[in-house]
Chains A and B, each alone.
Chain A
């Protein structure tokens, strides 16, 4: 069984690679969000999310959520638009090459 393209190794910084990275970031954020790790960001106000959980785990979950949230909101859209842009540029290059080939 073949894995979907976003889980397969793509040529580095190719449009599909950029798109796959955006997808993986979004997926990872979706998972921690559904797991309810947003609660653990309370360490930002110096408050524990739960008195019953060891602070180390709460801190780990809160930090992970924040890193993935930043990646989802700031990095993933940039990766997505970069994929579109790179795809457009590649098409432009290949067309101009064809054009040059045809002219010669």
Chain B
């Protein structure tokens, strides 16, 4: 009997000691070699592999149909956003690898032309979730800033990489429509869905307008200043100082600050008000970023604003409140603000829980989908396009 008790105690004690030693060390096996993921110049190896998979999707009609259908069965927006983030990534890759620019431009044009065609043929609701049909837009143009903003940003990024005359009037028209919708609202924000504005979409729209200003020699600085001032006064959560994620057309608050919105918002605002953008990133990191046993993650909601799991947050892992949607977009912000340490911890988690699949030098993450992979690709190559815009703005001054 004493022998059994001793065996169990020794076994249990050994297991506890081994677990206490192993668990804090386990993240080392998933830590990335940062030079594979981040590079000041050129395209890092992992980004090339991710891009190869995205290119495969866009060059194989069967695979494209299958992947887009898979996403659309969950959320039609993802079909649209996978296009946006891939185009953003390709534009940055064009700056990073000028030798391959013409190839990237051809793919950007294919994506843009197909997206514009679908919008024209299938109408406003093709890239929106079904509930868009249940209400009516308050703005007189009755347009979705979600679509206009991202299409304008794609057009702008394409033209930034290399001018294309055919896209000039298309971008100009979008910008005018967006500004008209935004100016109608007392908080200078357009609707993405009927009577529902999103900070994510409005910040994307602002970035697109900034790029259009640069390309077409216009100036909306006054509007940008008004927008920032209004957002700080009327669309900010008083507890965290973070911009809220959604609101009604009249500015009534909807959801509070959300990770799936604020990370991208901060990145886009880098083109509008860099100091304010930096402040939003620092606040978001304080409220939403987390690290456990060396694995980085992001929450969807600050502790002071408990929210409900939804299509934007993605599945949320209880206890730590780890959100797939927020963590995915946190890559973009960490990359954009040069937060290498946070990026490394996020990549460690991605290598662990993203379930990478590398086949024929094409990388994808099984736990993700094409939009998630496109966001990640963008996070790994972003920088040159924003730098180019800032440089040209400086030159203009």
Contact = CB atoms under 8 A, between A and B. Distances in A.
A89 interface: yes
A90 interface: yes
A74 interface: yes
A22 to B, nearest CB: 10
A19 to B, nearest CB: 11
B367 A48 contact: no
Interface stretch (B67-75, B105-113, B203-211, B212-220): B67-75
A11 B26 CA distance: 28
Contacts of A41: 355, 366-367
A78 B368 contact: no
- Interface SS of chain A: helix, strand, loop or mixed? helix
Given A14-B7, A45-B369, A89 B14 contact: yes
Contacts of A49: 70, 366
Contacts of A86: 10-11, 14
B311 interface: yes
A78 B73 contact: no
Size class of B's contact patch? 35 or more
B122 interface: no
A24 to B, nearest CB: 15
B15 interface: yes
A46 B14 contact: no
Given A41-B366, A47-B71, A13 B12 contact: yes
B74 A78 contact: no
Contact of A51 (B8, B19, B73): B73
B324 A85 contact: no
A68 interface: no
A42 to B, nearest CB: 6
Given A42-B368, A46-B75, A90 B18 contact: no
A17 B352 CA distance: 28
B14 A18 contact: yes
Nearest to A47: B369
Given A45-B369, A48-B70, A77-B26, A11 B357 contact: no
Contacts of A79: 15, 18
A5 interface: no
Contacts of B311: 46
Given A11-B7, A17-B11, A89-B10, A46 B357 contact: no
Nearest to B328: A45
Contact of B26 (A13, A50, A51, A73): A73
A24 B367 CA distance: 25
Most chain A CB within a 10 A radius of its CB, from B311, B352, B369: B369
Interface string B348-382: 00001101010000000011110010000000000
Contacts of B324: 44-46
A82 interface: yes
Contacts of A89: 10, 13-14
B131 interface: no
Contacts of A48: 70, 73-74
B10 A74 contact: no
9 contacts: A39-B366, A45-B324, A45-B367, A46-B311, A77-B22, A78-B18, A80-B18, A82-B15, A86-B10
Given A38-B366, A41-B367, A82-B15, 12 more contacts: A12-B7, A40-B366, A42-B366, A42-B368, A45-B367, A45-B368, A49-B366, A51-B73, A74-B23, A78-B19, A85-B18, A93-B6
Interface of B: 4, 6-8, 10-15, 17-19, 21-23, 26, 29, 66, 69-71, 73-75, 78, 311, 314-315, 324, 352-353, 355, 357, 366-369, 372
